[in-house]
Amino acid sequence: MKTILVSIACAAVLGLGLGAAHADVEIRKGGSSWAKVESNGTIRINGRSVGKFESDGTVRKGGSSIGRVESNGTIRKGGSSIGKIESNGTLRKGGSSIGKIESSGTIRKGGSSWGRASNCCGSHGGKRLVAAVIVFFSGDFF
């Protein structure tokens, strides 16, 4: 029993260490730093904390849930589907493509460069996080 408890404790410590190793995601808009998502999910716009992106995809503003980006990429606001971030980075609103988050981090709106994200976009999870910030906090993308 003692061996099992030691193993569980070691796994927990290693898990915390891995979580702390995640880098912040920075989003630049028009060449300037605009948003940052810290490793704990805190979303900062122009340096000010404005919300949080939780591991299950829930997006919070002022502590209240304002939406969610589900694991399959469906974007919901108030429980209703408003769009989708596909695994290839295509961002859809009402079924139509409005932009893309490329694996390199380039963010495109209507084919033109809108911004760039760093430390994020090689996986669908990273693209989900960037989509959450753009959709719920940019005001001019979605």
Q: What is the pLDDT along the chain (142 residues), one digit of tens a residue?
A: 333 333 333 333 333 333 334 589 999 998 899 999 999 999 999 999 999 999 999 999 999 999 999 999 999 999 999 999 999 999 999 999 999 999 999 999 999 999 999 999 999 999 999 999 999 999 999 8
Global pTM value? 0.82
Asked if the structure places residue 57 within a domain, the reply is yes
Token pair, residue 11, equals 């796994």
For residue 79, the enclosing domain spans 23-137
Separation between Cα atoms, residue 30 and residue 21, nearest integer Å: 28
9 within a domain of the structure (yes/no): no
Q: Does 15 map to a domain?
A: no
Q: Is residue 8 part of a domain?
A: no
Number of domains the chain contains: 1
119 part of a folded domain: yes
Where do the H-state alpha helices sit in 21-106? none
